Amino acid sequence: MFTAVGRTVLLVKDQDEALAFYRDVLGFTVLHDQVADGYRFLHIGLPGRTDGGLWLMPASGEDLARVGAQTGGQPLLVLYTGDLAAVRERLAEAGVEMWAEQRDAGGASLHFRDLYGNVIIAAQLDPAGSDPRG
């Protein structure tokens, strides 16, 4: 029925602040950035990929309380990498909180928080092991 996941909405306090974190720390790129009728549509994604990403949506009013907590403490994203050690180093250089680093038959992973407290998992799949994605 569907061919891809498009954009996931991420509530943010400040679009430029969120863009700086996701672009400068995590390596995302801007897919779409346009202002229409006073509203900024800012979509970001992984380099070389246009089929999915995040819509950095400014929160206001009651939604401000949901920034950093829209998943109830569960992970917002799982990001796959071919070099978890390089990710760990980059996150450490940026002062990002990390925890729960582990290795199992399927690969290795670690948890970290974005600038608003959302939990993200970085995972390196082991090509020789089982794929935890199923």
Per-residue pLDDT tens over the stretch 41-88: 999 999 999 889 999 999 999 999 999 999 999 999 999 999 999 999
pTM metric for this prediction: 0.90
The pLDDT of residue 100 is 95
Mean pLDDT on 27-46: 96
Task: Tell me which fold the domain 71-134 belongs to.
Answer: 2,3-Dihydroxybiphenyl 1,2-Dioxygenase; domain 1 (3.10.180)
Domain 1-60, CATH among 3.90.1310.10, 3.10.180.10, 3.40.47.10, 3.40.50.300: 3.10.180.10
How close are the terminal C-alpha atoms of the chain, in Å?
A: 20
Check if 1-60 and 71-134 are the same fold: yes
**What residue segments make up the domains of the chain, in order of their start?**
1-60, 71-134
Local confidence band at 18 (pLDDT 50, 70, 90 cut-offs): very high
Give the torsion sign (CA, 36, 77, 68, 96).
negative
The pLDDT of residue 15 is 98
Comparing 17 with 129, the larger pLDDT belongs to 17
